[in-house]
């Protein structure tokens, strides 16, 4: 079926059910960002392959909301689909629900498994929702099954804490809130809590499952086909009961007393299964909060993973400079080559997201995804943006470097690169009092480009998991308000960018972790001070720096960073590679 045919079929179902609109959000039942393809209903219906979007279909219109990262991509992929693009990052763009309230009358159909409790409640205050799944009967041909990969235990040697300890900690919180049960549906929370990992979702080593935690038991709802004998032993040993995935609804409907759930992450269908006479407490997931604060073992693992990742990148950049262009290259062949180098790394499992190799103007398409079939040829000239990361048993990496492949560098390219670099340095060298939220620091990364009248639409920093989601909450650095204060052990990315449509994209990204700041003599208050440790270990392309914009402090920082990169990464390289790295890490001077 074409997109136009799918939408026509959906409209027929809508008419049969008396709906004035049907909404297909880009969600799964676990509030995942990356989803098993089984749940990619939004992409299936619209033909738009971005990672975020919501489709609304009414009798005479079809619309897709997505954010500024995907404007260009959606513009291309929605062509001839009859679907209008709603640019949701724009100030004057109505939210999906406000648009529905304004433009429709009557029932709006949604699948309650695809809505968080909070979103469902918020929407219900403005429009009349009707719970029904109209996609299931339509998407019969070729719909991927729910993955059936194996679950495996994740050693406390990597996790830094036993399941027993984590369960005891969470049960204490459950009891403190007088709760009889806590529903956990986010896959990364389940993986963290039970020290398990899996292969169900691309780039995310999670297991499709639910957990209900009670003071005296812990039940994992997961298909039995995923549990082999070692996994069974591990779960038995830790007193974790196993029940079928789909039986979670029945189980929840048999609960009594007080039930805790995080309305931002638990889906409406689970919520509706809670018996009416239970007391329901909507509380921010304590697992989410604790998971974000990495322990010493997790952080040490991150440092190990960063060295492996840096070795792979160094080998890749050396190959790109010295070998690659002896034969034709495309964005796709570069992605494949980088993957090969990462595969050489100890404990490498898979990429942590789809590599973005954006050559020239493709670099300006934020979250551009080249495919083998659709990718640009890369020549030894102009700008290349490379955003990639790895899942290692030791930890998760995410790094962006933008490099100049050859030819004369336009002055504007140097200016852009340097504004980005200055902001990137300003954020990771910031010192700030305890209690500071990420959005308070956002302008530090933007101030230099703002001065030149330039900004970007994506976040400056996202939280990063430990051998889990490359994006995780609750912390981040964005313009939007987020009440979460940065805390010791949080990992965030630091990735400002400048994008010139048709010309180039420049983004520079390190992962950084919050640490207690060194004391200074000047301190006037009793505030505790925090700062960042840079985790990522990869050189910057110094040929793109406009030195006249750099301060002495910035140059000192960059030189010291390059000294550290060489010291930590060279031991993993052979002599030739180390020599290459030494050259890339050479000190720069005003």
- Which residues of the shown chain bind a copy of itself in the complex (CB under 8 A)? 91, 412, 415-416, 426, 430-437, 439-444, 447, 450-457, 479, 481, 483, 498-501, 517, 519-520, 522-525, 527, 529, 551
Question: 102, 123 in Cβ contact below 8 A?
Answer: no
CA end-to-end span of the chain: 61
Question: 506, 402 in Cβ contact below 8 A?
Answer: yes
Q: For residue 255, give the nearest of 245, 234, 270 by alpha carbon.
A: 270
Cβ closest to a copy of itself, residue 184 vs residue 415: 415
Cβ closest to a copy of itself, residue 295 vs residue 436: 436
Question: 268, 117 in Cβ contact below 8 A?
Answer: yes
Question: 183, 265 in Cβ contact below 8 A?
Answer: no
Tell the smallest beta-carbon distance from residue 519 to a copy of itself (Å). Answer: 7
All residues at 6 or more sequence positions from 1 whose CB lies less than 8 Å from its CB, including other chains = 9, 141
Q: Largest alpha-carbon pair distance within the chain? A: 73
Tell the smallest beta-carbon distance from residue 455 to a copy of itself (Å). Answer: 5
Cβ closest to a copy of itself, residue 23 vs residue 444: 444
Cβ closest to a copy of itself, residue 171 vs residue 500: 500
Tell the smallest beta-carbon distance from residue 462 to a copy of itself (Å). Answer: 18
* 449 three-class SS: helix
Cβ closest to a copy of itself, residue 87 vs residue 379: 87
Residue appearing with tokens 């998991």: 465
Tell the smallest beta-carbon distance from residue 241 to a copy of itself (Å). Answer: 37
How would you write 130-173 as a 3-class SS string? EECCCHHHHCCCCCCCCCCCCCEECCHHHHCCCHHHHHHHHHHH
Tell the smallest beta-carbon distance from residue 558 to a copy of itself (Å). Answer: 17
Cβ closest to a copy of itself, residue 457 vs residue 489: 457
Tell the smallest beta-carbon distance from residue 425 to a copy of itself (Å). Answer: 12
Q: What angle separates helix 411-428 from helix 438-451, to the nearest 10 degrees?
A: 160
Cβ closest to a copy of itself, residue 313 vs residue 427: 427
Cβ closest to a copy of itself, residue 325 vs residue 529: 529
Tell the smallest beta-carbon distance from residue 338 to a copy of itself (Å). Answer: 27
Tell the smallest beta-carbon distance from residue 548 to a copy of itself (Å). Answer: 11
Q: What's the alpha-carbon Rg for the chain, to the nearest Å? A: 25
Distance of CA 158 to the CA centre of its chain: 21
């Amino acid at each position: 079926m074409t997109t136009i045919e799918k939408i026509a079929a959906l409209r027929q179902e809508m008419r049969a059910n008396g709906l004035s609109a049907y909404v297909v959000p880009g969600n799964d039942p676990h509030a995942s960002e990356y989803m098993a393809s089984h749940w990619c209903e939004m992409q299936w219906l619209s033909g738009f392959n971005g990672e975020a979007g919501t489709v609304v279909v009414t009798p005479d219109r079809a619309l897709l909301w997505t954010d500024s990262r995907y404007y260009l991509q959606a513009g291309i992929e929605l062509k001839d689909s009859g679907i209008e693009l709603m640019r949701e990052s724009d100030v004057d763009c109505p939210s999906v629900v406000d648009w529905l309230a304004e433009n429709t009358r009557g029932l709006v159909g949604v699948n309650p498994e695809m809505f968080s409790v909070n979103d469902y409640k918020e929407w219900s205050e403005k429009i009349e929702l009707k719970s029904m799944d109209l996609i299931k009967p339509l998407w019969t041909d070729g719909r991927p099954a729910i993955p059936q990969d194996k679950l495996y235990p994740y050693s406390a040697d990597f996790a830094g804490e036993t399941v027993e300890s984590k369960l005891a900690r969470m049960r204490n919180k459950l009891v403190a809130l007088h709760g009889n049960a806590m529903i956990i549906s986010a896959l990364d929370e389940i993986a963290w809590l039970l020290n398990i990992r899996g292969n169900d979702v691309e780039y995310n080593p999670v297991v499709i499952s639910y957990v209900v935690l009670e003071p005296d038991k812990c039940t994992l709802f997961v298909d039995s086909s995923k549990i082999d004998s070692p996994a069974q032993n591990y779960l038995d040993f830790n007193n974790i009961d196993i029940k079928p995935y789909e039986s979670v609804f029945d189980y929840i409907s048999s609960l009594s007393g007080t039930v805790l759930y995080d309305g931002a992450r638990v889906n409406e269908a689970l919520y509706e299964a809670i018996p009416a006479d239970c007391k329901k407490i909507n509380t921010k997931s304590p697992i989410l909060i604790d998971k974000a604060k990495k322990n010493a073992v997790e952080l040490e693992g991150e440092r190990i993973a960063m060295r492996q990742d840096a070795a792979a990148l160094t080998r890749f950049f050396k190959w790109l400079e010295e070998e690659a262009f002896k034969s034709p290259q495309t964005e796709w062949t570069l992605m494949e080559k980088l993957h090969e180098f990462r595969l050489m790394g100890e404990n490498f499992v898979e990429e942590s997201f789809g590599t973005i190799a954006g050559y020239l103007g493709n670099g300006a398409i934020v979250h551009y995804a080249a495919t083998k079939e659709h990718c640009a040829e890369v020549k030894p000239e102009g700008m290349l943006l490379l955003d990639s990361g790895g899942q290692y048993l030791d930890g998760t990496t995410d790094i962006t470097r933008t490099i100049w492949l050859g030819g004369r560098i336009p002055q504007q390219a140097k200016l852009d690169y340097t504004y980005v670099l200055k902001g990137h340095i300003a954020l990771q060298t910031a010192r700030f009092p305890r209690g500071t939220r990420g959005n308070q620091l956002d302008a530090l990364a933007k101030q230099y480009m703002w001065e030149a009248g330039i900004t970007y639409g994506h976040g400056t920093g996202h939280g990063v998991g430990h051998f889990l989601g490359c994006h995780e909450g609750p912390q981040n650095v964005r313009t939007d308000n987020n009440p979460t204060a940065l805390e010791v052990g949080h990992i965030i990315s630091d990735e400002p960018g400048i994008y010139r449509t048709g010309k180039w994209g420049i983004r520079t990204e390190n992962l950084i972790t919050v640490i207690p700041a060194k004391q200074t003599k000047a301190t006037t208050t009793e505030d505790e001070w925090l700062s960042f440790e840079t985790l990522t270990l990869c050189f910057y392309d110094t040929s793109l720096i406009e030195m006249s914009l750099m301060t002495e402090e910035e140059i000192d920082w960059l030189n010291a960073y390059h000294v550290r990169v060489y010291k930590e990464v060279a031991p993993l390289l052979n002599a030739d590679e180390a020599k290459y790295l030494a050259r890339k890490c050479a000190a720069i001077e005003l």
